[in-house]
Chain A
Amino acid sequence: MTFYLQALQLSLCLGTMCMGVFISMKIFNIPDITTDGSYTLGAAVTAVLLSQHVPLILVMLASIAAGAIGGMLTGLIHTVLRIEALLAGILVMTGLYSINLVILGRSNIPLIGTSSIFNLITVFSAEISNNLVVGMIFIIALVTLLTFVLRTDFGIAMRATGSSESMVKALGINNNRMKIIGLAMANGLTALSGFLVSQFQGFADFNMGIGIVIVGLGSVLIANALKTWLNIKSIAAQLVLVILGSLIFQLVLALTLASGVDPNLLKLATAVFVLIIVALPRVSSALKKK
């Protein structure tokens, strides 16, 4: 049971990263690999600042800002230098790898006895239940905030940018600026995930972000399948589906581990799982045509 509750908890912590991937991939149609770097960046900033006993709220804001700067860099490289988004993301991610090492100062910083968002409020005495409550409150607040942003005039302009660039420009929207803001938002959310996960697992590690974008991608794809299946249109519901996608993804991974798969093969299992999610609709539609 604890095992699955932990998967649930992790899926909430990774939920903000999944929302980030939702923004870059679904709203802006940009495959953004910066994610791997900005996730670790968020965790690294969190670990270093928490060790220095900086107040939690400042730590959170600092890690979001750090991720946002990473995303902005990718956006600038993509729009100003007109380099493909995929390559721009890989470049920034690679650069961040070194920066994360410099910030951490070593490969791993444990977080023991430091303050933690999960101890901020106590609803249940059992740690795992309390963590879940905090995680849920956090995610609900974030979904509410993002729903609001995406429904404002600015948010409509954001959503339009990924849908029709020619229209957006004809309607007085600076699409380059929009993309930079969008990537900053996406990576700020990703770094926020690093902030949460490092406190949840009790350490920040220089390679904790490797392949994390695939987790986000898989979760968003699951959410997308659910959206089509349930014929959902509202923004709020789509964001909730993203969190649900994250949960399903983590549960599948947890089940995989529980079935006795070597933990070293977890990344392979993740990749295969995402491959299945991506390939299934194509294979089934190809079969239907026959």
Chain B
Amino acid sequence: MIELENISKVFNRGEANEVAALRNINLRIEKGEFAVIVGANGSGKTTLLNILAGAEKASDGHVILGGKDVTGLAEYKRSKWIARVFQNPYTGTASDLSILDNFRLAALRTQPKKLVIGIDAGFKQRVRDMIAKLGMGLENKIDLLMGSLSGGQRQALTLLMSVMDTANILLLDEPTAALDPKSSALILNLADRLIKEFHLTALCITHNLKYAHQYGSRLIQFQEGGVLRDYHANQKGALSLQDMFGWFE
């Protein structure tokens, strides 16, 4: 469960270019909920995810994960609970490392990285089995450098990597923004499947209203750093795509 209490974020406070990116946000996302976040450019969506993950510090307020106040905890420590998929496929993976090495690190997200060789035949098989789920034929290419793959392939792998180790929370920031329509559909489908299979609590930002309508058990619209609309499962189900297009007119 995620609780955000009175979260505010001001960039460049006291300077000419001061921006109030988030204004007093209060949100409670239940365990297992899949919240889709929409909102105009600059409405604070990414900032919220960054504050949740610990990549940015809130100017005010508290972040509580599973009842534990993590407001002051560094990003790399919060990754015990949080897995992330970024807008840019290059951000979530290391280009200079092989697919296998990337998966090895992902499998140790919540654990110390020790001075032992952890990649053995068993681990390789586990990675191959995992990647075979994608049906992209990548399972036989685990020694390829991540950098040699397409954005769609990398994004799909990043998603799989997020469930290599126990995860509770999955944050997706426009995971399909850099992808073609076919890869986009594949990625969201996969995300949806993984969220259900692993009982993840998920937040997914998207500008694609069709996806926002189709996926998720909750829909939140941001505007100018605040929550404008918040629809829970049954309310969301009653929404038509037409209604949603109306929000942005």
Q: Which A residues are closer than 8 A to B by beta carbons?
A: 148-149, 151-157, 159-160, 162-164, 166-175, 233
Contacts and interface: CB of A to CB of B under 8 A. Distances in A.
Contacts of A151: 117, 119
A162 B97 CA distance: 10
B106 interface: yes
B79 A152 contact: no
Nearest to B79: A172
B103 to A, nearest CB: 10
Q: Which 7 residue pairs of A and B lie closest in terms of their CB atoms, listed nearest first?
A: A163-B94, A172-B79, A163-B96, A157-B113, A153-B113, A160-B94, A164-B94
Given A152-B117, A153-B104, A156-B104, 4 more contacts: A156-B101, A157-B105, A160-B94, A169-B55
24 contacts: A152-B115, A152-B116, A152-B118, A154-B115, A155-B115, A159-B96, A160-B94, A160-B105, A163-B95, A163-B97, A164-B90, A164-B94, A167-B91, A167-B92, A168-B94, A168-B105, A170-B83, A170-B92, A170-B109, A171-B108, A172-B77, A172-B79, A172-B108, A233-B98
Most buried by B among A156, A171, A173: A171
B108 A167 contact: no
Contacts of B84: 170
A155 B117 CA distance: 9
Interface of B: 53, 55, 74-77, 79-80, 82-84, 86, 90-98, 101-102, 104-106, 108-111, 113-119, 143, 145
Most buried by B among A149, A153, A154, A174: A153
A159 B101 contact: yes
A154 B108 CA distance: 10
B105 A166 contact: no
B106 A171 contact: yes
Given A148-B117, A169-B55, A173-B113, A156 B105 contact: yes
Contacts of B108: 153, 157, 171-172
Nearest to B86: A166
Nearest to B77: A172
Contacts of B119: 151
Most buried by A among B83, B91, B92, B113: B113
A288 to B, nearest CB: 21
A159 B114 CA distance: 14
A159 B119 CA distance: 15
A233 B115 CA distance: 21
Contact of B76 (A148, A162, A169): A169
Contacts of B117: 148, 151-153
B118 A172 contact: no
A162 B96 contact: yes
B170 to A, nearest CB: 11
Contact of B92 (A149, A153, A166): A166
Given A164-B90, A171-B105, A156 B79 contact: no
A159 B145 CA distance: 13
B5 to A, nearest CB: 24
Most buried by A among B76, B91, B117: B76
Given A152-B118, A154-B114, A172 B80 contact: yes
Nearest to B90: A164
Nearest to A177: B76
B116 A153 contact: yes
Contact of A153 (B74, B86, B91, B114): B114
Contacts of B111: 172
Nearest to B98: A233
B114 A167 contact: no
A135 B190 CA distance: 54
Nearest to B171: A170
Contacts of A171: 76, 79, 105-106, 108-109
A166 B80 CA distance: 15
B91 A154 contact: no
Contact of B94 (A148, A149, A167, A174): A167
